[in-house]
Chain A
Amino acid sequence: MTLRVLAAMSGGVDSAVAAARAAEAGHDVTGVHMALSSNPKSYRSGARGCCTLEDSRDARRAADVIGIPFYVWDLAERFDRDVVQDFVDEYAAGRTPNPCLRCNEKIKFAALLDKALALGFDAVCTGHYARLDDGVLRRGVDEGKDQSYVLAVCTREQLAHAMFPLGDTTKADIRREAERRGLRVADKPDSHDICFIADGDTRGFLAERLGAAPGPIVDTSGEVVGEHDGAYSYTVGQRKGLRIGRPAPDGKPRYVLDISPVNNTVTVGPREALDVHEITGERPVWLAAPPAGPHDCQVQLRAHGEVYDCTAGVEGDLVRIRLHAPAKGVATGQAAVLYDGDTVLGSATIAATDSVFA
């Protein structure tokens, strides 16, 4: 069946090949580059991110090669509100957000999709590495590139209008295919980090928006061992950049165990204290039927992170996830994505853990 497909084109190789594949499959494809900054130059320069003028031109050039219409849609306001501001707010609240996930949830498969549907499109196509068959979301075959984690926050309704043509292919093959198709972005470097933080300096970005807020760094006994410029710039499990003058009594490295925005305190301690056995997730999204009782499955707690065996169950509005072996450095605000093998069952936002200091 020929669908009217809106291909979101970042200017990178993945979304270009995805659009080409959708067109080759016989769909009626229109390319759209999302302008996510009202002042594009303020974003990452060079060809690494997904928000620069150069990226917009790369996307246009790819669309021309594929032979599809191409437009730039201004989604800067929505992006700033739902992704950038959310990112800042989450850090300010002591959590660790994943903006790519938020962008999928609020921009690509919300603002962009809604507008596309209203304008008569049937689906939004992206270059994500994930497989989607009959509403079943699975990991992409390229384990290193798999992006099912950042898509797992999307609802069934959102995914019903999504198309991920790259899930069955490895990145290396996509690059070869791009070259074969004459797409000049074939050897463009992968994007990394956070597209709206131009220099990759997340701490500096947050400091600029939240201001300096010096406070104590304490150890597990409550003793002050250092000072920080703002609790928001720490992540649970973080080891580097703590700037603690004196070593721990046992001489072992110390890790961030807890961030408390209320009293502006960062707690550090030994690696063992990071152990988490149980996670409480909120705002669950189920792609499969919610488990009726305790359900044995796997959980992933951060993008490209380790996968743990677990038993998950629904408790009211929450999801309780019991890990069969402890995980380390689980940050609230990240998504807990439940898998059965390579199939996504659902996801929830990590609200609390049983870590001693959480």
Chain B
Amino acid sequence: MRSFDVIVIGAGVIGSSVAYHLVKKGLEVALIESGGVASGTSSRCDAVALICDKKPGIDTEIGYASIQLFKQLAKEFSVDFEFSSRGSLYVCETDKELEIAQEYVTQQARDGYDMRMVDRHQLQAIEPYLADDLAGGIWTEVDSSMNPYKLCYAFVEEGKKFGLQVYDYHSVQDISLDEKGKVESVVTDRGTFKTKRVVNCAGVWSPKIAQMVGVHIPIKPRKGMVLISEKTPLKVAGQKVHEFGYMLSKFEDITFKRNVSELVEKHNVAFTIEPTDARNYLVGGHRAFNGYDIRSEMEVMRAIAERAIRFLPVLKDINCIRAYAGVRPWVEDHLPIVSEVEEVPGFYIASGHEGDGISMSPITGRMVAQLITGEPTDFNIDKLNFSRYKQKQQAVI
């Protein structure tokens, strides 16, 4: 029977990064994936690492550290993942939004982050094609972009240089425990692997993996659709541009009403656009609870286009060539789960990043490797511990 120090389940961006960081520590690691590398959410997403869409505190701290790691990896890796630090622009539609944005920026700037308000004239200077009736926005210098599936390929290929073994098209059927309840082996449809440690990086599918050891993970798939533009010589957007109202589509506790159509409201659509290296633009964004269904929905496509031309009228004459959808691993407190599960020694979870998986992948991989080798983690990650859900259940009882 093949035997490994650690088995990582799921070769999306989190699993790929975790596996890479573990082999770099000198451990023998297998990365097991039911499909191919980056065949789930990590190839059906957008392509940015941002701090401007994080909440102040640990969310932003970890996001910032992750971008710094990206910069280092982009230099170290021989595989290119199209990393670029271009900054990002939030746009506020109304003075009310601008007021809320100002409070947010003040708080982030107090914590030392380079985020600043821009007025309506500066908006036009940064993005000449923006509608001319917008109130202002936020510029975030550190925000960056990359190609998400090439990032997964890069982690895997760099990991192989340190001996990473990849078992793609291996579907995990069971995880067996020894008589003391510790992890003993991983059973797949193509053989069994012996190990004392498993890291569950299966994203939206991680609850199914956890069930095999009797653990319930409260992750729900949260769908998002993206439209792709044709290649155009027009510089429609120089970097990520999104409406500040995006924050309200992401966080349920931010409550201000946008002046939007019923269709846009119904599908929780908030405008975002990103340029890609291939000169197409990715236009979103959308959040909905709809199970694991990733079919494209015509109504959502219409809502995204409607909202996009409100902010960038130039898009009216540019073609949409394709639409795709993915499902984000959502948790109610919007913080990823990065910890060992107390009840099942050797069973670790690195999941629940919602839309921040790409963004948070380097720091997540690094901290899981620190946890497993018994080193202190870069951050105090008590808040990311899985036990927070147990405490909550007890509190409810």
Query: Do A and B form a real pair?
Result: no
By a beta-carbon cutoff of 8 Å, the part of chain B in contact with chain A is none
By a beta-carbon cutoff of 8 Å, the part of chain A in contact with chain B is none
